[in-house]
Structure formats: structure tokens, C-alpha cells
């Protein structure tokens, strides 16, 4: 029996001229409509693919956006320091140009504790996967980024970054390593390594451990280094995913800790 036939038979029990019966019929129709809407939304959410879901908050996996797919991401990073803490907010829109190549645009905002909230920079990023996942012994991805600060007087106004993303997924286990090189034109160079290991407990929950390290080399030859280590949690629900990580400082030059939250929404 199809849906229209069922409604027709239900309607036979109600007299349209009766206010009481019409009210009951309205309740039945709204109830059935609600079931249809809830069922449709449940099916849609269960089919969500989480195009660029992150297991980590500093380390990248072997993932690019599918062709013609778009995602909105929001970052919040807190640097816990001995004195005033630093806050950074990023809004990213990323789009798949092909099934192995994507492009992103960021708007970056910053605020030091006690100071004004301000627009700090614009950033462009592109990623390219060398092959489909699993074809090579280790999956390699190329990452390039350009960042320009809005403050025309800033010494580190322009930054270029190149990153090699190496990753491997074995069943529910993921391992990712990201060596990188950054150059702040006429200011400093930065060499870094981000790495993470995670386990997918179920499709909606991933737990991991992540590290991030940087060595800064300034124009005058001086250096400064920072290393951090801590847990990460990634949760998916419907067309949304969330990742949060806390990393404790391991060196004298490191901040006390850093906390990052990322939220992704499929558009």
C-alpha cells in the first residue's frame, strides 16, 4: 500500500464539514509529515562523508577535497603563556578543483589578552595528492601556502610555506608525518615537523596523539625552538565534524601549552 492510498483511507474516516474531525485529520497529517521529514534528515545525515575530516589539529592527513565539493572550517587557537595569552581565529573555505587537487582561502584574526580584536592576515593554500590512497607504500601529498599580513609595517608581512605530507592508514590506525619549511621574507626562516598517530574507535570517534615542533632562524643568526605534545579528539556528527587538541610545551622557548579547536561543515 503506497503513501497516497494510506492517506486516502485515513481521510475516509473524517467528515470535512466537522470541526472536530477536521482537527483530528490535521493532527494526523502533521504527524505523518513529521515522520517523513525526520526520516529524510536521518538518512541524509547517515550518508555524510566528511570530505576533509581532520584526525589532528596541527598535522595533516592524506586527504584533499573531492572535485566540486566545498567545506567551511573554523579554527580557534589559544597560546597559553606566562603573561598574556594569545588567541587566533581562522575562517577557511576550501574547494576541490579535481579529485586530487584543492584550494583554500583563509581570513585570519588575532587578539592578545587585554588588547583589541583585529583582522591579521589573508592566506591561500593548495594541496595535491600524488596518487590514490594505498597505491604507494607511503601516501605523499604536496602542500603550498602563502600568507600576507594586513599590517603594512609588520616585518614578517609575507610568508611562504612548503610542506610534504606523508601518511599511512592501516585499518583503523593512521600515522601522519609533515616535515615543513617556512620563510618570512626579510625576517626569518622556520623548519618544522608535525606528526600524529590516531585510532578510529568508530566512524564518529577518533582518538590520537600529536606533536608539533618549530625551529626559528632569524636574520641575525639567532634561533628559537618550540616543541609540543598532547592528545587529540575528533568527533563527527551529521554533516559536521570537530577536532580538538591540547599540547604541552616541552622546551624552555615553548609556551606553557597550546589548544586548538577546528570545526568543519560540508556546504
Residue matched to cell numbers 586548538: 260
Q: What is the spatial distance between Cα 262 and Cα 160, in angstroms, rounded to a whole number?
A: 23
Domain ranges for the chain:
3-46, 70-266
Structure confidence at residue 212 (pLDDT)? 98
User: How distant, in Å, are the alpha carbons of 54, 133, 163 from that of 144?
Assistant: 18, 20, 6
Burial status of residue 220 (CB atoms within 10 A of its CB: 0-12, 13-18, 19 or more): exposed
Structure confidence at residue 84 (pLDDT)? 82
Backbone phi and psi for residue 11, each to the nearest 5 degrees, phi listed first: -70, -20
Q: What is the DSSP secondary structure assignment for residue 65, as one 8-state letter?
A: P
CA atoms within 13 A on the CB side of 40: 6
Name, in order, each residue with C-beta under 8 angstroms of 190's C-beta and a sequence gap of 6 or more.
180, 181, 182, 183, 184, 214, 215, 216, 217
Burial status of residue 109 (CB atoms within 10 A of its CB: 0-12, 13-18, 19 or more): middle
pLDDT, tens digit only, all 267 positions of the chain = 444 554 455 445 444 454 544 544 444 444 444 444 434 444 344 444 566 899 999 999 999 999 999 999 999 999 999 888 999 999 999 999 999 999 999 999 999 988 999 999 999 999 999 999 999 999 999 999 999 999 988 888 999 999 999 999 999 999 999 999 999 987 899 999 999 999 999 999 999 999 999 999 998 889 999 999 999 999 998 889 999 999 999 999 999 999 999 999 998
Structure confidence at residue 12 (pLDDT)? 52
Bridge-partner residues for 163, per DSSP? 143, 180
Burial status of residue 88 (CB atoms within 10 A of its CB: 0-12, 13-18, 19 or more): middle
Q: What is the spatial distance between Cα 26 and Cα 151, in angstroms, rounded to a whole number?
A: 61
Neighbouring C-beta atoms of residue 137, cutoff 10 Å: 7
Helix (H, G, I), strand (E, B) or coil at 69: coil
Closest CA to 244 of 206, 214, 212: 206
Q: CATH assignment of 70-266? A: 2.40.160.40
Structure confidence at residue 150 (pLDDT)? 95
Structure confidence at residue 10 (pLDDT)? 44
Amino acid at each position: 500500500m503506497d503513501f497516497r492510498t494510506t492517506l486516502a483511507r485515513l481521510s475516509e474516516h473524517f467528515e470535512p464539514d466537522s470541526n472536530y474531525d477536521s482537527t483530528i485529520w490535521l493532527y494526523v497529517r502533521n504527524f505523518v509529515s513529521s515522520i517523513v521529514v525526520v526520516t529524510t534528515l536521518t538518512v541524509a545525515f547517515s550518508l555524510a562523508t566528511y570530505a576533509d575530516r581532520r584526525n589532528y589539529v596541527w598535522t595533516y592527513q592524506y586527504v584533499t577535497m573531492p572535485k566540486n565539493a566545498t567545506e567551511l572550517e573554523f579554527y580557534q587557537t589559544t597560546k597559553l603563556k606566562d603573561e598574556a595569552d594569545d588567541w587566533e581565529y581562522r575562517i577557511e573555505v576550501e574547494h576541490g578543483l579535481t579529485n586530487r587537487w584543492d584550494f583554500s582561502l583563509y581570513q585570519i584574526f588575532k587578539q592578545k589578552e587585554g588588547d583589541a580584536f583585529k583582522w591579521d592576515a589573508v592566506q591561500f593554500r593548495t594541496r595535491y595528492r600524488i596518487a590514490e590512497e594505498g597505491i604507494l607504500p607511503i601516501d605523499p601529498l604536496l602542500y603550498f601556502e602563502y600568507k600576507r599580513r594586513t599590517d603594512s609595517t609588520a616585518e614578517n608581512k609575507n610568508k611562504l610555506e612548503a610542506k610534504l605530507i606523508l601518511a599511512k592508514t592501516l585499518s583503523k590506525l593512521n600515522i601522519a608525518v609533515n616535515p615543513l619549511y617556512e620563510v618570512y621574507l626579510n625576517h626569518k626562516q622556520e623548519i618544522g615537523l608535525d606528526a600524529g598517530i590516531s585510532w578510529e574507535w568508530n566512524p564518529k570517534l577518533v582518538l590520537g596523539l600529536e606533536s608539533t615542533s618549530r625551529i626559528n632562524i632569524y636574520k641575525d643568526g639567532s634561533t628559537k625552538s618550540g616543541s609540543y605534545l598532547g592528545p587529540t579528539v575528533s568527533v563527527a556528527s551529521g554533516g559536521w565534524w570537530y577536532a580538538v587538541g591540547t599540547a604541552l610545551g616541552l622546551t624552555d622557548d615553548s609556551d606553557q601549552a597550546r589548544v586548538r579547536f577546528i570545526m568543519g561543515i560540508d556546504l
